[in-house]
A and B are shown apart, each in its own frame.
Chain A
Amino acid sequence: MEATIEVAGLRKRFGQTMALDGMSFTVEPGQVTGFVGPNGAGKSTTMRVILGLDAADAGRALVSGRPYASLRNPLHHVGALLDASALQPSRTARNHLLWLAHSQGWGARRVDEVIEQVGLGSAARRRAGGFSLGMRQRLGIAAALLGDPPVLMLDEPSNGLDPEGIIWMRGFLRSLAAEGRAVLVSSHLMSELEDTAGHLVVVGRGRVIADTSVAELIAAASTGRVSLRTTARSEAMSALAHAGATVAATDRDTLTVTGLAAEHIVALLTRDAVPFSEVTAHRATLEDAYLDLTRDTVEFRAGEQEATR
């Protein structure tokens, strides 16, 4: 059975609000897929539909080719972290995992393994009600890992983690994906996913805006501008224009070149012996690309809310 998540044409309406409006994407094994979009874009609803907690009005959601509700031994197929605070406060961390393990026919040994795996060993017998949000996130990850599943779905797992915890989480998620698991991680902050995700599903207003690799997304957002600092402005301009680039003078000794990659520019100027002191390629950040993509949906939402007031 292939470890995947497939979502196709999900629609769901909450009263007046269209929470999901044709949400479709696939999560492949072997990489972390970032599920990113502004708050209210439908990320959590999509995850709940995939897990059979919410029913969609239309469309289908499959985990490893099957609806979640039909999975036998479900925690062995999918691990999920939705709300790290969903705990009985007076129950210890270990006992919280123990009842989950018992529901799938596993014993206390497996519980102790995952507790160690997420670094909660020393707090295992403490009441979960006294845990910080970061510790709850770790406990939630432990619950998701209990069945050692090939598919993982984590809703904002870095929430409440300290910087050290965030670094741990990034490495942990990458290593889980490297084992061949399909890992879907949602966030409303692209920066959180920048170093973790290999693939991105960007959503807004209940549908997918972009479904692409991180490299492609950055390339698409980058305009390909190169700035060039040179004392021989006119020679440089004619050499580059000759090669087909668009060149504009920015100030006395700086040119902005579009239409040629930086390495081409360097080769060209070197060949023609035109002196230059600095070549800078402008690369968009993932955050820039994300903001570009979602700006419309966010503004539109804000406008819509104004209108309904």
Chain B
Amino acid sequence: MSTITPYRSPLRAGRDGFAQLLRAEWTKFRTVRGWVFIATAAALVTVLLGLGFSAISHSSCSEGPIEVACPTPPLGPDGEAVNDRFYFVNRSLTGDGSITARLTSMSGIITYPPPNHDKIVPGLVPWAKAGLIIKQNTKQGSPYAAVMVTAGHGVRMQHNFTHDTGGLSATFPRWLRLTRSGDIVTGYESADGKQWTKVGTADMTGLPDTVRIGLFANSPGDLTVEQGSLGGSNTQLRFTQTSAVFDQVSVQGDVPRGAWSRDDVGAHGMTDWERYQRANGLVESGGTLTVSGTGDIAPSSDGQSIERTLIGALAGLIAVLVVAVLFITAEYRRGLIRTSLLASPRRGRVLAAKATVIGLVTFTAGLVSAAVTVPICTRILRANGHHTLPVSSLTELRVIVGTGALFAAAAVFALGLGALFRRTAVAITVAIATILLPYLLATVSGLPLGVSQWLLRLTPAAGFAIQQSVQEYPQVLAYYAPQMGYFPLAPWAGLAVLGGYAALALGLAVLRVRQKDA
């Protein structure tokens, strides 16, 4: 038998680690022009639809026949949009001091409530407020701290619009006290004016030496939401007013002598009720002060949220799902998957590398398009007369990066489906039906609120929550529904649900690719 010298290759051995696999999958992706085109289209359509939506959306206000610039709502100390409307009976306080008063009763009216909407009835809405307040000045949006009795939520200590602490439940008469000591303002309550219980403290760093201190009353609009029989909802807000009766009012500290100042903070125009029945204001009778007011001191969600500019991301997401599915099903269709598995016999790693590449590509598409769309489109909206809700730069960053993460998680989910079903049409259909369809059903179809919210908790569509910039406040009664841009899950929790689905789909795909003959 002849001796044969086996072949020795002069080629240096390569490396076949995960990094090489990633590079191979990236090369695969970038060398198919159609895929690069679809991924680019995902970004472009997100930007262009956002620009189009912003450009055609105008808002105008008029005074009589004359068009005027729309009034911009006030901003709170942290830059957020706020409502700041109440009747303020006040005087100046310099340095430390306190105010004490007994609140003997609250009453009010609600105009034209359901069911018949035909009369003005006596009553208080749950967040009708009356109490004591220390505020930097009488301008809307300036820092404040207040202790108050509410009609439905007991005694509260609130400050600077977003902060709210509950006290004991209220029974009339109720004594309230608000004390300033340096930067700290503390609210107390008492049943008898002797035994005091602390309700809460507010760190008011930055409050000037001289502030306004006094009594206040207000009442937010009466909100009802009707579910339409054909879907959709009808939201109504009705004028309300609160009158609170105080006595035993005393102010300690450096206060000037003289009468109380009276300010209807944030007032603009009068309703017929105020004009002909009872205007907001103060009625003094002996030691009794009756304060009537309307409005609310709270964060505001009136205006365009920044995520509205990302309307095009829905169309962009379709492109993302398509390209992610094609990235794997094309290999099954052509039999190329076998070549991939020859190059990397460790099959799970092939899918992991594919998921990483498509995730990074679509993350970039989402990130870049949102980073362009959000700042430009909010500027266009403002230029078109819209009031856009200001958000912190951290929130804006989260919405922009979150759009990238939403794209990436959806792409990995779709890739997993593609590897499971191995058929393009089936995988794309399932991906769209599980991500986009529940989102649309929950936000525009007018399903009952509970159904909409469960859809956005349980389905992959929960991931859209990462784009929500508006915030829910327990101390503000509003229609926190998906149609209004409020998701039942917190932003990162919603994204985690989608991420969980993506991990599940990819995990099942890895199991399948490992088990079966390729």
Contacts and interface: CB of A to CB of B under 8 A. Distances in A.
A193 to B, nearest CB: 20
A86 B335 CA distance: 5
Given A3-B7, A74-B16, A53 B343 contact: no
**Top 3 closest pairs, chain A to chain B, by CB:** A105-B14, A30-B4, A103-B24
Interface in A97-151: 98-100, 102-106, 110, 143, 147-150
Interface stretch (A77-85, A156-164, A214-222, A242-250): A77-85
A46 interface: no
Contacts of B28: 88, 91, 99
Contacts of B346: 69
B345 A71 contact: yes
B343 A98 contact: no
B268 interface: no
Contacts of A3: 6-7
B7 A179 contact: yes
A91 B327 CA distance: 13
B24 A76 contact: no
Nearest to B517: A54
Interface stretch (B31-39, B317-325, B441-449): B31-39
Given A83-B338, A87-B336, A76 B9 contact: yes
Given A2-B6, A82-B338, 15 more contacts: A48-B338, A53-B338, A53-B341, A73-B14, A74-B343, A75-B343, A76-B14, A103-B20, A104-B14, A104-B16, A105-B20, A147-B9, A148-B9, A180-B7, A181-B6
B343 A29 contact: no
A145 B495 CA distance: 46
B10 A148 contact: yes
Interface string B308-344: 0000000000000000000000110011101101111
B336 A86 contact: yes
B336 A100 contact: no
B15 interface: yes
Contact of B7 (A29, A92, A98): A29
Interface residues of A, number: 52
B330 A88 contact: yes
A86 B345 CA distance: 17
Contacts of B342: 51, 53, 74-75, 80
B23 A102 contact: yes
A80 B335 CA distance: 14
Contact of B339 (A29, A86, A102, A105): A86
Contacts of A269: none
Contact of B4 (A80, A83, A180): A180
A100 B14 contact: no
B21 to A, nearest CB: 6
A256 interface: no
Given A28-B4, A74-B342, A149 B517 contact: no
Interface string B1-45: 010111111110111110011011101100111100000000000
A51 B339 CA distance: 10
A52 interface: yes
A271 interface: no
Nearest to A52: B345
Among B8, B10, B339, B341, find the residue whose CB has the most chain A CB atoms closer than 10 A: B339
A31 B33 CA distance: 42
Given A80-B342, A88-B330, A149-B9, A73 B16 contact: yes
A95 interface: yes
A252 interface: no
A207 to B, nearest CB: 20
A150 to B, nearest CB: 4
Contact of A73 (B10, B13, B336, B338): B13
Task: Report the contact-size class of chain B (Cβ under 8 Å from the partner).
Answer: 35 or more
A148 B8 CA distance: 9
A92 B517 contact: no
B55 interface: no
Contacts of B70: none
A104 B6 contact: no
User: Which applies to chain A's interface (DSSP): helix, strand, loop or mixed?
Assistant: loop
B516 to A, nearest CB: 9
Given A99-B24, A99-B31, A181-B7, A104 B339 contact: no
Interface in B264-280: none
B518 interface: yes
Given A30-B4, A100-B339, A72 B23 contact: no
A149 B14 CA distance: 12
Nearest to A147: B11
A71 B28 CA distance: 23
A197 to B, nearest CB: 16
Contact of A150 (B7, B20, B33, B330): B7
Given A86-B336, A104-B20, A54 B8 contact: no
B15 A104 contact: yes
Contact of B16 (A2, A55, A89, A103): A103
Nearest to A4: B6
A212 interface: no
A123 to B, nearest CB: 16
Nearest to B30: A95
A76 B336 contact: no
Interface string B279-320: 000000000000000000000000000000000000000000
Given A55-B517, A148-B9, A106 B336 contact: no
Interface in A156-201: 179-182
Given A29-B4, A90-B32, A103 B344 contact: yes
Contact of B11 (A82, A87, A110): A110
A68 interface: yes
Given A74-B345, A105-B15, A88 B32 contact: yes
Contacts of A83: 335, 338
A180 B34 contact: no
For A51, A54, A99, A179, the residue with the greatest tally of chain B CB atoms inside 10 Å of its CB is A99
A31 B517 CA distance: 30
19 contacts: A2-B6, A3-B6, A30-B5, A48-B517, A52-B341, A73-B14, A75-B342, A82-B338, A83-B335, A88-B32, A88-B331, A91-B28, A96-B31, A100-B339, A102-B24, A102-B27, A103-B21, A106-B14, A181-B7
B334 A85 contact: yes
B330 A53 contact: no
A150 B6 contact: yes
A145 to B, nearest CB: 10
B88 to A, nearest CB: 71
A99 B21 CA distance: 9
Interface in A17-68: 28-31, 48, 51-55, 68
Contacts of A2: 6
A201 B69 CA distance: 90
B15 A150 contact: no
A72 B20 CA distance: 12
A75 B7 CA distance: 15
A96 B336 CA distance: 10
Given A73-B14, A74-B16, A83-B335, A90 B34 contact: yes
Contacts of B20: 102-105
